[in-house]
């Protein structure tokens, strides 16, 4: 499994918050799906309000 570090912004209506999150997955696309699921669940928002600006692969 590879660890991916995502950074970006979450639009919460009246405000926008930056985030940085590490996700462990077999591929970058699976990590991205897990990130959308985690953040969407935590903040009760659809994935359209989550903007990923950077992805880095860690070893």
One-character DSSP codes across 1-59: -EEEEEEEEEE-SS-EEEEEEEEEESSHHHHHHHHHHHHHHHHT--GGGEEEEEEEEE-
CA 11, 57, 37, 47 torsion-angle sign = positive
Tokens, residue 8: 């970006």
User: Over the stretch 1-53, which tens digit does the pLDDT of each residue have?
Assistant: 999 999 999 999 899 999 999 999 999 999 999 999 999 999 999 999 999 99
Tokens, residue 42: 């935590």
Amino acid 59: pLDDT: 72
The count of other CB atoms within 10 Å of the CB of residue 31 is 23
Domains and CATH numbers, the chain: 2-58 (3.10.20.10)
């Amino acid at each position: 499994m590879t660890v991916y570090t995502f950074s970006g912004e979450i639009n919460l209506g009246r405000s926008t918050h930056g985030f940085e999150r590490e996700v462990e997955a077999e591929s970058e696309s699976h990590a991205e799906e897990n990130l959308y699921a985690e953040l969407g669940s935590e903040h009760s928002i659809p994935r359209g309000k989550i903007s990923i600006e950077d992805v880095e692969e860690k070893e």
